[in-house]
């Protein structure tokens, strides 16, 4: 009943001349806003419709459902008040600053970096600022955790694994290695721990490893909103303690896995433990965070009966000059659209340096498709070659296809698992395989739902002096050694071979030598 009364009152107010003017100004500004952020909206339409981001989609649906439920519940439980308040000047000022700052940073990111997740985040913050010109002041402020929750459904987990995963894994492996050394297992070094942990754990598990920071942040925001906690210094401290708890839980998980699997040699037990350890550690950290929120972070001071800002009016009724901020924004949005410039395309402009392949390797070139060339060009690859190969060895003949992508920017490289999925192959398993102590490669088992066949793929990233199967390591190399040329070697075999297959091992070593010689030649 209360909700129906609110809607009736709002309809009456919007029917007034001032209300109609406010509707026109609001609609026009939002249309201009959508026009300005069209590139970002295309990206959002992509990530929230494809299967790769199914977890993000499910979380988004749950959050939207919770927001609707909370709003309806709030309307039905608040007293009926007829007085409505226009948006306060402080809220309008904050909204305008948020809109302007987000748009400026968005234009800079689109021109210089073209990082889609950052653009989408800025679009979300700017849009919430735009809502601040329309929503009731207190509701707009109190709705910030919910807005951050929606923004948090962007694929931050995968990016955190890429950007933060490598340094955190190094720190974790160093700590665990030192602890094991003090316990008498001095032979287990940092590299051994990294390779073992990569091989036994699922890095895409939301509650394990670095991605638990993303999942934990969503939990913390949801708990903040539901518990009606005040954002402030104590809230920031609680969030920091929670992040530390998640890192400690993950460090404990790695320590147990390495002790059981590598130190004691119980590899199967370690594989069985990695999932429950990740879940239990995450749940324990969340329980700790909930306790911090309830007993350390203060609750918002809300006086539903005495504070006119806490009335049950969701929409700010248009009064006086409340439509002026919208009209003032319109020329600024149009100007931002006129000065918008996407990052220039610079990829595939260099002639590929010819590779001197082994005589045992028979090759047949396979040109890239136009959409593949466009993708590599956009991301700044120097050159790319794809070919079918036949490897002749005294241990047998091995066939397949491979692609070599050369780039001085990590953005032009990628995790080939994504490409295999695009071509209809499902990733059944992925883990590190040591060809030798200086050549770790990623071995991927693939399947196809249309038949029972399985396929095998491998890939690695190689510079003049380093070979790694870790995409995070490849990315951080651009920070420590910028403009260094790297080559991504991605191989898909026509059949499945044992990891110890001698012919396949010879092929890996031959390609490693070929790429190393090519990189050395380009440095002369």
Q: What is the pLDDT of residue 318?
A: 44
Q: Two tokens at 123?
A: 């679009």
Cα 113 to chain centroid, rounded: 16
Q: How far apart are CA 99 and CA 102, in angstroms?
A: 5
CB distance 496 to 475 below 8 Å: no
Residue position matching structure tokens 């509701």:
139
Cβ within 8 Å of residue 437, ≥6 positions away: none
CB distance 503 to 396 below 8 Å: yes
Q: Among positive and negative, which fits the CA dihedral 383, 387, 391, 397? A: positive
Q: State residue 344 phi and psi, 5-degree precision.
A: -65, 145
Count CB atoms within 10 A of the CB of residue 286.
21
SS (H, E, C) 98-148: HHHHHHHHHHHHHHHCCCHHHHHHHHHHHHHHHHCCCECHHHHHHCHHHHH
CB distance 306 to 237 below 8 Å: no
Q: What is the pLDDT of residue 302?
A: 54
Q: What is the pLDDT of residue 422?
A: 64
Q: Two tokens at 201?
A: 């754990």
The secondary structure element, H or E, covering residue 37 is: none
Q: Which residue, among 332, 363, 490, has the nearest Cα to 420 in the 3D structure?
A: 490
**pLDDT, tens digit (0-9, with 9 covering 90-100), for 86-106:** 444 457 888 999 999 999 999
Q: What is the pLDDT of residue 100?
A: 94
Could you list the mean pLDDT of each consecutive 10-residue stretch along the chain, which spans 524 residues? 54 59 84 95 85 81 87 66 46 89 95 86 94 81 89 81 72 82 74 64 55 89 91 94 93 87 81 85 94 92 47 44 71 93 71 83 88 73 90 92 89 80 74 85 82 83 91 82 90 87 94 92 68
Q: How far apart are CA 164 and CA 156, in angstroms?
A: 11
pTM of full prediction above 0.85: no
Q: Where are the domains of the chain?
A: 2-136+316-339, 158-295, 361-523
């Amino acid at each position: 009943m209360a909700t129906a009364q609110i809607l009736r009152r709002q309809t009456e107010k919007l029917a007034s001349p001032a209300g109609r003017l406010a509707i026109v100004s609001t609609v026009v500004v939002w249309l201009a806003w959508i026009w300005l952020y069209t590139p970002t909206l295309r990206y959002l339409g992509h990530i929230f419709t494809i299967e790769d981001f199914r977890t993000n989609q499910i979380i988004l649906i749950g959050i939207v459902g919770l927001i609707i439920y909370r709003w309806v519940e709030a309307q039905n439980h608040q007293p009926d008040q007829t007085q409505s308040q226009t948006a306060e000047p402080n809220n309008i000022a904050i909204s305008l600053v948020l809109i302007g700052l987000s748009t400026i940073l968005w234009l800079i990111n689109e021109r210089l970096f073209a990082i889609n997740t950052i653009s989408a985040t800025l679009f979300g913050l700017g849009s919430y600022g735009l809502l601040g010109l329309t929503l009731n002041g207190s509701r707009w402020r109190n709705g910030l955790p919910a807005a951050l929750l929606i923004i948090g459904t962007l694929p931050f987990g995968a990016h955190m694994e890429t950007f933060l995963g490598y340094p955190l894994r190094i720190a974790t492996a160093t700590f665990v290695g030192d602890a094991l050394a003090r316990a008498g297992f001095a032979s287990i070094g940092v590299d051994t721990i990294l390779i073992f942990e990569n091989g036994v754990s699922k890095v895409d598990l939301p509650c394990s490893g670095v991605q638990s920071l993303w999942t934990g942040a969503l939990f913390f925001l949801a708990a903040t909103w539901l518990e009606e906690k005040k954002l402030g210094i104590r809230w920031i401290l609680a969030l920091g303690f929670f992040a530390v708890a998640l890192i400690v839980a993950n460090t404990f998980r790695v320590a147990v896995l390495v002790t059981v699997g590598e130190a004691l040699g119980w590899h199967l037990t370690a594989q069985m433990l990695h999932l429950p350890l990740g879940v239990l550690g995450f749940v324990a950290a969340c329980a700790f965070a909930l306790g911090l929120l309830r007993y350390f972070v203060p609750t918002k001071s809300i006086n539903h009966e005495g504070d006119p800002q806490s009335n049950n009016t969701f929409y700010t009724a248009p009064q006086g000059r409340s439509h002026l901020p919208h009209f003032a924004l319109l020329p600024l949005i149009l100007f931002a659209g006129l000065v918008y410039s996407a990052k220039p395309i610079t990829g595939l402009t260099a002639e590929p340096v010819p590779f001197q392949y082994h005589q045992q390797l028979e090759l047949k070139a396979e040109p890239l498709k136009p959409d593949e060339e466009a993708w590599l060009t956009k991301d700044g690859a120097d050159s790319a070659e794809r070919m079918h190969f036949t490897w002749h060895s005294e241990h047998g003949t091995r066939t397949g296809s491979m692609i070599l992508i050369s780039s001085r920017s990590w953005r032009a490289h990628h995790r080939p698992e994504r490409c295999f999925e695009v071509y209809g192959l499902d990733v059944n398993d992925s883990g590190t395989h040591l060809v030798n102590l200086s050549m770790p490669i990623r071995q991927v088992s693939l399947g196809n739902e249309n038949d029972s066949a399985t396929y095998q793929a491998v890939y690695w990233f190689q510079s003049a002096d380093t070979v790694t199967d870790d995409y995070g390591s490849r990315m951080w190399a651009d920070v420590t050694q910028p403009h260094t040329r790297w080559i991504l070697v991605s191989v898909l075999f026509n059949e499945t071979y044992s990891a110890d297959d001698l012919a396949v091992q010879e092929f890996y070593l031959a390609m490693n030598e070929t790429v190393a010689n090519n990189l050395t030649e380009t440095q002369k």
